[in-house]
Structure 1
């Protein structure tokens, strides 16, 4: 059984443990309340069995106290527990749990009692009450992590229930839902769009309880995962339906489709559909795509358009083909363009989604477009800016920040974004191919024939890189010198390609501007410290984020080394990496649980212990190397290792391993002692240092990237022009002459 098949058992067990612990937490409160009102313990416990006291009533057989000690027939007992839990909460859990079968046979095997007992013991290690979490949504975050893990394991099938979180984040930021709104995902999968919409509202300091969430999902198993996801995130009233959205939309009001303020979706790519038995065909006002040929994409888009209210906005992932294919799809595009409802089209990088390499985009539709975009569409070509991965690529926080800013500020950035009139699109026969309007192809690499023949760096190529050199106030004589009116050449000190990096890294201009960036970052941090120290009192994370981001840009951009988008990248990467620390600070204050082990070991006591551990590990490696040498292949056949010496060395290695283990145990004990004994002021100082170190590391990454760009310019010139064609020909001729000489010596040739 692989991980993707095992997911339903883990989700079921996690859900069971969480609801049981929540129930027991609430039950203790109810019993305590009745005891304070004069009831006996027995009477209070009997009154505490009233289901009306609980959001979810957990019957006796589903309580963790009953489950944790199961020893036989465990699969059947777990099935009955889930069945009882669903039966006692029909309004919220109908159909969610009964399909989970811990006795199911997959292939020729099923989970044994021994494996299920070990499974239960694992979940018994950690209690899951609200008071056990560093911040309220910690369990929800863990559940999202598991969903992603199982999507990774499932490969292509992972896309059926999970959209990468960074793509969802981008879409939510584009839509910017607010409290009081109704948000809908007609192909909701495991619910990521809805959960992140809720998180966004919370980040802004608004009341997410005043946000109505609606979703529909055709796959019953995925629908169940979504329902559990909502509940584990504290969303008990989300309206999630299980049915085919194109054939039978479930969210209706008075026989008509419900209308929403925001619609977000990632519908399945390239599906077929059928009009037979379709409900609410009036949704498709722009026409019907072909039923065969896997072209249902614009049918999903039209359903979403029909689900918007008069001021509603939607963002949906679409394959690129819908932007330029002809036939019925072209007529659908024409209708949308002429009705002026398309606000933006965002081209996405390749290979973001599970199991498909189909190029994708985000189609943004707005029923109430801003006046400056009336009769126009904003095209954003973001397909070249992403982080590379082995199996799939990903959007980086800085990529999301750039796209979001360009969209909301309607900026035109060369080779990235452009506002295009409907008239121009009509002249292009309603072809919405993004590259037709925003071509981000790189400029062709220049090649100077004379430089290839005779050497030298063309002045024109050096002038084209002036903006990069100016960032560092780089003196042109550092690596290049005058050759003639048209060409430069490398200075004599640069005798090998490797010298280029050394010279640049030692240059006073490079060192100086990087030092200034570090100085400004440190000064900015000092200015922000009072706000950070009072962070636990802040309720509006979004406002704090915007304030910090704007002030960091003001501090670093004027230096001229990094642009506004790169500085934003430093900050948003830090913000994303620190988000759980910040949530914990806001929820529980400056607690030592936020501190990483390495941070705690940075104290004087920790440094001394780490030095001892390093010494012990070095000694162990030395002994193991000595053993490997003794046991290696002997140089002489008669040379036999001394068995007594080997035996003694083995004893020393065993003793040294014990010594290393003892110091490691000391390290663990020291970490726990420091967590419980450090005073609050010192804890706060260490947390702030931890946060700053993370931010400073982000700056260093960008400084390194910028410096590497500079180095790459000179290395490219070296590769192109340092060795001339004439020199290559001369080497060839010399090699030929040597070969001819050898042949003559051997008696071949004339």
Structure 2
């Protein structure tokens, strides 16, 4: 853990350079972009050194020196060809992080060189297209005038020099990156819902979706609202064959899409296992021409988002088998759910986070829900604590879906009280996560926590899945002892009378300076005698 902590401290120090100049949503782009550039550059130099010396370098400055020397020889062409094939990109010696760092230390930092390095990487392979498009090295946010702007970037580059990204294991580096994304989400608040799912719900979602598929080699994971890709990548933690997982993800926001692409590389995901796309999930189906059904579908879509709900979607294969109904224009929740479910394999599992309204709202949503229940598609419903997510304080639920299973029963779990309160958010720790998984895997009714509802139960409730209808969390009131209560009231009344008598005796012994005061006290005494 020391390695991870040191890495986090260095990366967070880089954020400190930018904090105050702009808000977290903006400076995260600079910091994460520069970290990724450093990772690609340092990995490149390490590969150069390995090809020349057959070992990993202890010192990147030495690797830089050897690279500069070999590039002056006849071997340069062959070396670059090998690097292009293995790394998918090449860098000139003066485009490396080490070279630009040396410039920054010598007060000769040049933004044009850094921009040229970005351009070289982006143009090397379509994997990297537009990856640094959001990192504006000439923005006024960095300071007023060329000198201050360059100084800001140079300072971040110097600070990040302390991060050893070569010797950090894939999970350490990737997890540090995700930790930073989580920190930015916390700072940015409501703007952050687009790119991050908090740890507790993410682990529950992934562990459930992976249950029974942990040993599958070549597992295919799909997230059509992938954000930073953290949900898909979390599935690696529960696979015995993580290096063979294929990831298929789509994201609407270009900057968040780039974040997910970086995240894949930082988790050492092989390029051939990355199938990511920048696009609108509901507008046009994807994927359609490669793999179209997946073992695992994980989703945390934007809650109750608007969509067109155009009549044409009634002929769309994703939505056409649900009583001729579409998710309403003002609430796309079921559109996202049905899209993900359409792409689920017959043997797979889907887990999606949605607001509680999907469990009980009527009209078109009621028809869609009833169809899913009649088909046995809804496997479990898990109520999460309120205030878990950065973009909403409302309570949410996880809906688990499967295709063509035996039975139509539904497991309900009420996990709304399984959390610890922290400053801004409620947090589910490992103990809470394990409890939910225990309830899920046992699939039995547990007083106050879980209920395995038969199809008849659900039908009797008019296909309403509101969790309190099935899991009774109310506490019985203590029985009242009427005899004891009567005696208590008698004792209280007796004590009141005794106190009033004593007070009347005291008031009768008073002398008065005015007739008005004496009249008022006498009226008060009469009231006390009546009580």
Regarding TM over 0.5, the answer is yes
1:253: Cα distance to partner?
A: 2.2
Q: Does 2:47 align with 1:32?
A: no
Paired residues for 1:650-661 under 5 Å: none
Deviations 1:693-734 (A, max 9, x none): xxxxxxxxxxxxxxxxxxxxxxxxxxxxxxx88469737964
Q: Secondary structure at the match of 2:428?
A: coil
Change (3 A) 1:26 1:444: same
TM-score of the pair, normalised by structure 2: 0.80
Give me the whole-angstrom Cα distance separating, in 2, the residues matched to 1:391 and 1:725. Answer: 50
Aligned with residue 386 of structure 1, among 419, 424, 442: 419
Give me the whole-angstrom Cα distance separating, in 1, the residues matched to 2:497 and 2:247. Answer: 73
Partner of 1:234: 268
- Is the 8 Å Cα contact of residues 142 and 152 (structure 2) preserved in structure 1? no
Q: Does 2:483 align with 1:443?
A: no
- Is the 8 Å Cα contact of residues 189 and 217 (structure 1) preserved in structure 2? yes
Instruction: Flag structure 2 segments of 5+ consecutive residues without an equivalent.
Output: 1-21, 56-68, 523-531
Change (3 A) 1:33 1:735: same
Partner of 2:35: 14
Partner of 1:196: 234
- Is the 8 Å Cα contact of residues 19 and 58 (structure 1) preserved in structure 2? no
Partner of 1:180: 218
Deviations 1:134-182 (A, max 9, x none): x442111110110000000111111111010111100111112433221
- Is the 8 Å Cα contact of residues 247 and 279 (structure 1) preserved in structure 2? no
Paired residues for 1:569-608 under 5 Å: none
Q: Secondary structure at the match of 1:54?
A: helix
Q: Secondary structure at the match of 1:183?
A: strand
Deviations 1:485-511 (A, max 9, x none): xxxxxxxxxxxxxxxxxxxxxxxxxxx
Give me the whole-angstrom Cα distance separating, in 1, the residues matched to 2:384 and 2:305. Answer: 20
Paired residues for 1:98-117 under 5 Å: 98-106=133-141, 112-117=149-154
Q: Secondary structure at the match of 2:424?
A: coil
Q: Does 2:297 align with 1:263?
A: yes
Change (3 A) 1:734 1:367: same
1:59: Cα distance to partner?
A: 1.1
Aligned with residue 127 of structure 1, among 143, 149, 164: 164
Partner of 2:428: 395
Partner of 2:87: 55
Partner of 2:453: 420
Paired residues for 1:525-536 under 5 Å: none
1:53: Cα distance to partner?
A: 4.8
Which of structures 1 and 2 has the larger relative contact order (alpha carbons within 8 angstroms, sep 6+)? 2
Partner of 1:161: 195
Paired residues for 1:318-329 under 5 Å: 318-329=354-365
1:8: Cα distance to partner?
A: 0.3
- Is the 8 Å Cα contact of residues 191 and 391 (structure 2) preserved in structure 1? yes
Change (3 A) 1:283 1:454: same
Q: Does 2:449 align with 1:411?
A: no
- Is the 8 Å Cα contact of residues 76 and 103 (structure 1) preserved in structure 2? no
Give me the whole-angstrom Cα distance separating, in 2, the residues matched to 1:739 and 1:137. Answer: 81
Partner of 1:507: none
Change (3 A) 1:437 1:77: same
Give me the whole-angstrom Cα distance separating, in 2, the residues matched to 1:316 and 1:82. Answer: 36
Deviations 1:510-542 (A, max 9, x none): xxxxxxxxxxxxxxxxxxxxxxxxxxxxxxxxx
Q: Does 2:478 align with 1:730?
A: no
1:84: Cα distance to partner?
A: 1.8
After superposing the two structures, state which structure 1 stretch, 272-281 or 391-400, moved more. Answer: 272-281
Deviations 1:9-66 (A, max 9, x none): 00011001111111111100112259xxxxx954455532223353243412431122
Q: Does 2:375 align with 1:339?
A: yes
Change (3 A) 1:16 1:729: farther
Aligned length: 463
Change (3 A) 1:260 1:78: same
Paired residues for 1:254-403 under 5 Å: 258-276=292-310, 281-284=316-319, 285-286=321-322, 287-292=324-329, 294-369=330-405, 371=406, 374-403=407-436
Aligned with residue 245 of structure 1, among 251, 274, 281: 281
Q: Secondary structure at the match of 2:277?
A: strand
Give me the whole-angstrom Cα distance separating, in 1, the residues matched to 2:274 and 2:501. Answer: 80
Change (3 A) 1:321 1:744: farther
After superposing the two structures, state which structure 1 stretch, 222-231 or 360-369, moved more. Answer: 360-369
Deviations 1:398-440 (A, max 9, x none): 2211111121221210121111111221222111111111121
RMSD of aligned Cα (Å): 2.8
Partner of 1:218: 252
Partner of 1:141: 175
Give me the whole-angstrom Cα distance separating, in 2, the residues matched to 1:221 and 1:448. Answer: 65
Change (3 A) 1:404 1:64: same
Aligned with residue 243 of structure 2, among 209, 213, 227: 209
Instruction: Flag structure 1 segments of 5+ consecutive residues without an equivalent.
Output: 35-39, 456-723
* Structure (1/2) with the larger helix percentage: 1
- Is the 8 Å Cα contact of residues 248 and 279 (structure 1) preserved in structure 2? no
Give me the whole-angstrom Cα distance separating, in 2, the residues matched to 1:147 and 1:725. Answer: 65
Partner of 1:151: 185
Q: Secondary structure at the match of 1:166?
A: helix
Give me the whole-angstrom Cα distance separating, in 2, the residues matched to 1:733 and 1:100. Answer: 82
Q: Secondary structure at the match of 1:137?
A: helix
